[in-house]
Chain A
Amino acid sequence: MEKSNKTKAIVLIIICTLFATAAQPLYKIGISRLSLSNSIISLITENIAVIAGLFFYGLAAIFLIFALKYGELSMTMPLMATSYIWVFIISIVFLHEKLSAQKLSGTLSIVAGIYLIANSGYKAENKIKRR
């Protein structure tokens, strides 16, 4: 039971970081070219990026809340750093940014940290459940 709750929290937080990572560029691009039209339809179509960005942020918040329900605070929050891994992948694969040794070692350090956190603390979780 404890173990499956933890797995749930990890899955939920990973989905949360995916939405948060997608939301950021959409919101940034959208807000930089925000247009104020007087018809509702063109207001929506011209600002679709910022609307999608905000929508994704909202989804990320919902997934975060459910992840926090199932997982310990000190495990769930640091796992939010998974978003840095997504940013790294996007910047290399889609934006063709140069891969520096520093960026790679930083990302690997985050991966190692996430691995350690995801594999820590069943005992504490049991304790909380029993109270």
Chain B
Amino acid sequence: MRAIAIILTIASAAFCSIGSLYLKKGTKKAKKASDYLFNKKIMLGMSIYLAATVLYLVALRMEELSVLFSISATQYIFTAVLAKNFEKERITAKRWAGIMLIIAGIALISIS
């Protein structure tokens, strides 16, 4: 049960970052309000986000919040990897350090 909950949480974190990538792509050429409302990429991004939330809620029924909370923070790593590969963003050492500090902080808070 625990292993399944952890796998679901990692999947949820990955979904979350894929969702945000699509949101980012959707906003690129959008200018008018209607560009945002009738935007396939934004809709897809939102749906993936929703799927991520459902996966996380299912996982929460199986395992304690504290463990899963820390694991879900790994979404920032996924996001950085996706941003580097699909958005050609440069992830500087400073940014990686910031991401690691945030993950460590979330782990500290949730395990206490």
Contact = CB atoms under 8 A, between A and B. Distances in A.
Interface residues of B, number: 44
Interface in A104-131: 105-117, 119-121, 123-124, 127-128, 131
A36 interface: no
B46 interface: yes
B11 interface: no
A105 B76 CA distance: 20
A31 to B, nearest CB: 12
Contact of A102 (B20, B30, B108): B108
Contact of B90 (A66, A111, A121, A131): A121
Contacts of B108: 102-103, 105-106, 109
Given A78-B98, A117-B99, A121-B95, A106 B105 contact: yes
Interface stretch (A18-26, A38-46, A47-55, A67-75): A67-75
A32 interface: no
Contacts of A102: 108-109, 111-112
Interface string B43-80: 00010000000000000000000000000010110011
B102 interface: yes
A120 B95 contact: yes
Contact of B27 (A66, A72, A124): A66
